[in-house]
Amino acid sequence: MRANLLRLRRAPSGGPPRRRRFLRASVLRLVLLGGVAAALVVFDALEIEIFREWREALLDPAEFTLCGKANRQNCVIDGDTIRHNGVVVRILGIDAPETRDFECESERALGRRATRRLLELINAGPVAVVYRGGRDADKYGRKLRVLERDGRSLGDMLVAEGLARRWDGANRSWCR
């Protein structure tokens, strides 16, 4: 019986022996799975490289303006959000007043001041976009990063000037 199992038999159709056909199909599956695995490794490496790029980037201040219809690549959206190379970046750890969905006119005015000040700070010289660990992005897909110049956070500067506050996870009103 053992000899019978090892013997290659012709398939009923007259094609190659069953064992050879099984082995060929198995090898083909392995090659395909290996190709998929290799593609996943390459894709993973690309994702890691993209992730590294967003771990720390350097902003070119000459390119930044206020966001509008003409500029959607490198611009300041509001007092705690920028767009760098088309990617939206939320400044980690601060909350600035809203300029679009504001509750009162004083929030809108303070939000505009914070937006203009953030633009001034970015345009004052090289700014590093730094990933500090933790979540990579918020629920809206914005990258969560710290903006720094010479090791000092631009968000901390806005807080010190009264144009933003520390983000504590609570949505609190800016209106008095």
Which distant-in-sequence residues (6+ apart) come within 8 Å of 3 by Cβ? none
* Per-residue buried b or exposed e for 88-125, using 16+ beta carbons within 10 Å of the residue's own CB: bbbbbbbbbbbbeebeeeebbebbbbbbebbbebbbee
> Which residues are catalytically annotated?
90, 98, 142
What does the angle CA 37 – CA 42 – CA 45 come to, to the nearest 5 degrees?
125
